[in-house]
Amino acid sequence: MKHDPKFRFMADTTTAILDVRRRFAAPRQLVWDCHTKSELLDRWFAPKPMTTRTASMEFREGGHWHHAMIAEDGTEYWGIVRYDTIDPIDGYTTTDFFSDPSGTPNEDLPASSWVVRFTEDGADATLVHSRITYASPEDLQTVIDMGMEEGMASTFEKLDETLASLAS
86 to each of 120, 153, 157, how far by Cα in Å? 18, 25, 25
pLDDT of residue 122: 83
Rounded CA-CA distance 129/80 in Å is 20
Between CA 80 and CA 113 the distance in angstroms is: 12
Q: Which domains does the chain have, with CATH numbers?
A: 52-167 (3.30.530.20)
CB 61 within 8 A of CB 85: yes
Please write down the long-range contacts of 55-61, taking CB distance under 8 Å and 24 or more positions apart: 55/101, 55/103, 56/103, 58/83, 59/83, 59/86, 60/86, 61/85, 61/86
Q: pTM of the entire structure? A: 0.95
Distance CA 52, CA 39 (A): 10
Separation of alpha carbons 11 and 148, rounded Å? 11
Per-residue pLDDT of the chain (168 residues; tens, 9 = 90+): 555 778 999 999 999 999 999 999 999 999 999 999 999 999 999 999 999 999 999 999 999 999 999 999 999 999 999 999 999 999 999 999 999 999 999 999 999 999 999 999 987 899 999 999 999 999 999 999 999 999 999 999 999 999 999 987
